[in-house]
Structure 1
Amino acid sequence: MKRITTQLFCLISLFSIFSPVADAADPLLHNIYGVDLLEEGKIEQGIEQLEQAYRLYSADQTLKKNLATAYALMGQKLLNKKSYPEAASQFEKSIELFPDDPQYHLLRGISFTLAKNVLPAQYELQQARKLGGDSAESLYFLGRLHYDAGETDKALEFWEKATAMAPSDTFLSGLMEKMRREQAVEARMERGHSSRFIVSYDTEEVKTDIALAALDVLEQVYNGVGTDLSCFPEARVPVILYTKRDYREVTRSPGWSGGLYDGKIRLPIGGIVEITSDLRGTLRHEYTHAVIREITKGNCPVWLNEGIAELQGRLEFNTPLRELEKAVKTGEFIPLKRLEAGFAALGTSEVHLAYEQSYALANFMVATYGWHRMRTILSNLGEGLPIDKAIAGGLDDLGLNLEGVFDEWKAYMIREFGEKRG
Structure 2
Amino acid sequence: MPGALSGVTVLDFSTLLPGPMATLFLAEAGADVIKVERPGRGEEMRSYEPKWGSDSINFAMLNRGKKSIAVDLKDPASRERLRPLIEKADIVVEQFRPGVMARLGLGYDDIREVRPDVIYCSITGYGQTGPRAAQAGHDLNYIGDTGLLALSCGTTESPVVPPALIADIAGGSYPAVLNILLALRQRDKTGSGAYLDVAMADNLFPFMYWAFGQGQATGTWPGNSDAQVSGGSPRYRLYATADGHFVAVAPLEQKFWLAFCAAIGLEQELVDDTVSPERTTRRISEIIAARTARELQPVLAAADCCCSIVRSLNDAMADPHFAQRGLFARPLTNDHGQEMAALPTPIAASARGEGTAASRAPRLGEHTRELLGPEAE
Q: What TM-score, normalized to structure 1? A: 0.26
Q: What TM-score, normalized to structure 2? A: 0.28
More strand by share: 2
More helix by share: 1
